[in-house]
Amino acid sequence: MVFNKQSLSKGITLAAGILANEIRKITSVGGIGGYPKEIIPPSITVGTATVTDTGASIGISTENKGDDNARVTLAFELGSGLFGKEGQKYKIKPKNANLLAFMWKDAASIGVREGVKEVVDKTGKAILPWVMHPGIKPNPFLQRSIDASSDRMLEIIGQNFEYQILDGPRVEVIK
């Protein structure tokens, strides 16, 4: 008895697509306290299925597109700074300029104002050379995505899983 590798490859690829879409859906909720919808959803990618005689695997990952997408995604899943494994604030410096600019009122909600002398322009932006960021609390989305899509994933895999029972010259395909 053998299974059809091509059908299994198709099934797990479709199932991974369902999970990736659920991750994108959940992480598309932006705003203060939400996910960075311009970073996480577009960076979620589905790899190529690998099928062997004993099983199959496929990866869903965060693709770095010239940014720190993987690091940001991990921070939202596990927490960062004071709320992550580091347990301490971390410095954020500008990458492509000499100064950071952000809305000062938004800085209060995440705690970067603590110990920083207020330097605000007339538009309400703070302009600073760097800040000590307190980090973000974990806002896990992977388990929620799996829970929301597991039934559909199993159904798709089941529909695309075939055993071939070889008995002499006959072949019977069971779906």
The number of C-alpha atoms within 13 Å of 52 and in the hemisphere containing its C-beta is 4
Which residues, in sequence order, are CB contacts of 102 under 8 Å at separation 6+? 125, 126
Instruction: Kindly list the domain boundaries of the chain, sorted by start residue.
Output: 2-86+135-174, 90-134
What is the arithmetic mean of pLDDT over 47-73?
87
Quote the pTM value.
0.76
138/141 Cα distance (integer angstroms):
9
pLDDT band at 8 (very low <50, low <70, confident <90, very high): confident
Please indicate whether residue 166 or residue 42 has the higher confidence score (pLDDT): 42
pLDDT band at 124 (very low <50, low <70, confident <90, very high): confident
Helices 142-159 and 5-26 pack at an angle, to 10 degrees, of 150
